[in-house]
Amino acid sequence: MKPYTQFHPFQIRWNERLYQGDKHYLTRWTFLFFGYSIRIHHWISSDVGPHLHDHGCDFISFLFKGHYTNITPEGSKHIKAPFVWYSIGDKKHRLEIPPEGAWTVLLCSRQYRKWGFWVNNHLWRPLRYFHKFGKTA
């Protein structure tokens, strides 16, 4: 069976600025090894829009500096460093990041599904979602 995504055996992505629409919300450093990855995230701001998202892989997240609120369908949890949590790819959530930001290290499995934002119980792909909800005032 062909894997979901083809990976180069080894990649380094350095100092990537990620945007949701026109909002810079995250800078990351990524080390990819045969589809698995280690990611350092500097969270700058909260997810845009009011909706929850899921992920394409399972992961372990180590919050090592700062704090944030993780919002899930079950409720909200304020998390302070140091903290470790595990999530499967289809677990929906969103992050509320305080003005001072936060830093995490993620250990990620191989990607095994597409990810996106959940709007009225329908999965929206990221570009469609950011086009509608990712604009800042």
Query: What is the tens place of the pLDDT at every residue in 48-89?
Result: 778 899 999 999 999 999 999 999 999 999 999 999 999 999
CA distance 45 to 97: 5
CA distance 17 to 22: 11
- pLDDT number for residue 135: 56
The structural domain count of the chain equals 1
Q: What is the CATH number of the domain that holds 49?
A: 2.60.120.10
pTM of the entire structure? 0.82
- Asked if residue 113 belongs to a domain, the reply is yes
- Asked if residue 4 belongs to a domain, the reply is no
Query: What is the tens place of the pLDDT at every residue in 1-36?
Result: 444 555 567 888 888 887 776 778 889 999 999 889
- Asked if residue 33 belongs to a domain, the reply is yes
- Asked if residue 5 belongs to a domain, the reply is no
Q: Which residues have a Cβ under 8 Å from the Cβ of 102 and sit 6 or more positions away? A: 42, 43, 63, 65, 66, 67, 68, 81
- Asked if residue 85 belongs to a domain, the reply is yes
CA distance 73 to 103: 24
Domain with 71 in it:
10-133
- Asked if residue 104 belongs to a domain, the reply is yes
- Asked if residue 97 belongs to a domain, the reply is yes
